[in-house]
Amino acid sequence: MINYKLVVCLLLAGIQAVAQDPVSWQFNLRKKAGGLYELHMTASIERGWHIYSQMQPQGAIGFPIVVGWDKNPLLIMEGAVEESGVLIKHREPVLDSESWQYAGKVDLIQVVRMKAKVKTSLSGAIRFQVCTEQKCLPPASVDFRLWLP
């Protein structure tokens, strides 16, 4: 016979795990002169949570933001992904380590050059980890695709 209390507890635990998504992402393109675009990948982070910068000091234990691009021969990525936000340099005395992180909001900016004036897409994924002072969720990935005119 099925233990209904166990089934209900497992369902509630699953709902809680799915419901815990403290980072939401928005993606938009801003047209610049000369075939250039700025891709803005903006993370809004719930209060009490943080994500780790792309760049971390030696010995940091958090999983940094990684942006990956799908290949498109019509596009050239100009420079590296830049971060815009309030960078927090957090020192963890128990682990004797430092991490660089963002809370609240961070905007990742990539300049993209189009090789030809044709409609094409810019796509990829962002991998990141979100934590509080007490816990971390497993690294997550968010896919994106935007169309360039």
Q: Could you read off the pLDDT of 28-77 as tens digits, one per residue?
A: 999 999 899 999 999 999 999 999 999 999 988 889 999 999 999 999 99
- Residue 44, SS3 per DSSP: strand
CA dist., res. 29 & res. 123, Å (int): 12
In the predicted structure, residue 10 carries a pLDDT above the cut 80: no
CA dist., res. 136 & res. 67, Å (int): 20
Distance of CA 121 to the CA centre of its chain: 20
Are 97 and 107 in contact by the 8 Å Cβ rule? The answer is no
Considering the chain, what is the average pLDDT of its residues?
Answer: 88
In the predicted structure, residue 130 carries a pLDDT above the cut 70: yes
pTM, full prediction:
0.84
Rg (CA), the chain: 19
The residue extents of the domains of the chain are 22-148
Q: Which CATH class is domain 22-148?
A: mainly beta
Residue corresponding to tokens 């815990």: 20
How many residues belong to the chain?
A: 149
Average pLDDT over residues 111-127: 96
Structure confidence at residue 145 (pLDDT):
98
